[in-house]
Every structure is written in structure tokens, then in C-alpha cells.
Structure 1
């Protein structure tokens, strides 16, 4: 009887490990000067980081033991904008495979001489974004809502406009 109970408890504990999924992927560097060793891959649900990985020297990564659900995957490197992949679906006992470019194509491109439009196509309430250490003049403009201050770290793909109505970068 004792052996039977130990066997059942062992099987139940092992079955708990089979209930989770896995995310595996390949990152393709778009810039020959970048290196995989500086990248971090993070899987988040809401605001909480569930798990993460560091890609190997060829860009391959594996994140194990992920509960079933819908996640957001971040590829992060210090000094660069995060590459974000929404709606990564993980199923019990399944492997989700991703092929990801890094850095991804820049989503902040603009027609020459035109401000972008926001949600619903409106263009009112859109102001320029200013990067770097602001001067007194720039601070006064920001207080009046004429510019949006965005910090000192500048990358190759930064938004240039901000919608005051929806509080979003364009």
C-alpha cells in the first residue's frame, strides 16, 4: 500500500511538469555590428515577467515551463528600444516557435512635411517630441503643452510626435 501511494504521488508530481508549454525561437540580427550576447528575451503576462532567456551565439533561445496563456515577448538590449511581439500563445504541452528580426523595422516613419494621424485619423493635439537635456525655453514650451519631453536616450528609431489626447507616441 505504501509503495502504491508513493507511486501515485510521484506520477501526480511529474504530470504537473507536463502541463506547461515552451517558447523557442531564432533571432536574426539586422545590424552586423550587434551581438547576441547583449540581448535578453523576456516573456510577460500583463506587467509581470514570467520567464526569460539569453540567446546563444547563433540567436537561438528557449523558454521552458510556461503556463498556458497569451503573452507578450520582449527582446531587450541596453540603449535600444525593445522589440515587442504581442499575442504569443502558449498551450499546455506544446512548443511555440518564433522567428524574430532584431532590431525590428522602425514603425516611426513619416511622410515628408506631414504630421502623422492618431487613432481615428485625427491630427489635432499632436505635438513634437524633444529629446535630450531641455533648455529653459524648451521647459516653458513643455509646461504650455507645445512639446513633449522624452528623455536623453536616443536610438535610430524614435517617435517624433506625441498625441496629447491619447497619451501615445506616434
Structure 2
């Protein structure tokens, strides 16, 4: 009976003095027009195999997760981040206060442009379309002008660039 009491007492003191850490950070928003939307609608989700925590960013887009045991954590957002659903992996050590700055876009950063001008150089003479999916075309002879395009890949999403500037190597 005494051994059970001592075991319980040791377990109580061990858990009382175990160190926890915190993950704090700031959301970095590339489009200032989205800041109000992010403040109203965004949830920051922190999870690992043992727990899931969710918070909203404050007025300055800062956030803090406290009393976290050490381990590997994943941070994601709801709604998802554009152009891809970005997830950040962080490792927290016992007693550590980890600071992270996370890029987040609640709206698609690729705007439809009527004039197809590159946002970097402002010109359209080196701008070519981006083609997605499997592109199969006819072989051209040397006399025929070759169609130019930039291969966008096989995965098609609701947020992707339509144009590529060869001069600046910029998708838009």
C-alpha cells in the first residue's frame, strides 16, 4: 500500500514540475486588402498525434499556443492558404518559446489580367500562356512557327497563374 502511495506522490510531483513550451507568431499577409477578412475568418490550427488546438489571430495578426508539451507540431489554416494549402511543421523543445512568422493568403494571389502585362516589367512581349494538364500537339516543321507555352503541370486547382513572363521568370 505504501508503494502505491509513493508512486502516486512521485507521479504528482513529476507532472507538476514538467516543463511546457509555447508557440507564438504572426501571420504575414501579402495583400493588405485581405487583412480585415483574415481577422474575421481565419482559424490557426495546431496539431500533432496527441492533441489539436485552434485559435484566432488577434488584431495585429499575432497568435500564441501555450502549455504545449515538447514534440513535432503541424500548423495549418482554415480557410486554407492560397495558392496551395500550406502547412508548417515545427519542433518544440521542453520549456521553449518558439517564434514563427507564417505567410498566409486567404484569397488567390493570381488576379485575372486583361492586358497580360507582366507585373514586374510592365511589358507583354515575352509573356506566354501557362498550359495545365497533359499537352499533346502536332509536330511542326521548321518553317512553321512553334507555339510557345509554359508547362504548368498536371494538377489543376481553383487558384493558379495563367501567364508566364520569360524575361522576369514570373508567373501571374
Provide TM-score, normalisation by structure 1. Answer: 0.52
Q: Give unmatched runs, 5+ long, in structure 2.
A: 1-5, 110-127, 130-148, 163-172
Whether the aligned pair in 2 keeps the contact of 1:90 and 1:96 (CA below 8 Å) is yes
Shift of 1:101: 2.4
Shift of 1:62: 0.4
Q: Which residue number in structure 1 is paired with residue 17 of structure 2?
A: 15
**Aligned mates of 2:60, 2:85 — CA distance in 1:** 18
What pairs with 1:1-170 in structure 2 (closer than 5 Å)?
A: 11-16=13-18, 18=19, 20-34=20-34, 35=36, 36-45=39-48, 50-77=52-79, 84-103=86-105, 112=129, 113-116=149-152, 127=154, 129=156, 154=158, 157-158=159-160
**Aligned mates of 1:94, 1:79 — CA distance in 2:** 27
Shift of 1:65: 2.3
- In the alignment of these two chains, the number of paired residues is 119
Q: Give unmatched runs, 5+ long, in structure 1.
A: 117-125, 130-149, 161-170
Shift of 1:103: 1.4
Give the 3-state SS of the residue equivalent to 1:84 in structure 2: coil
The alignment yields a C-alpha RMSD, in angstroms, of 3.9
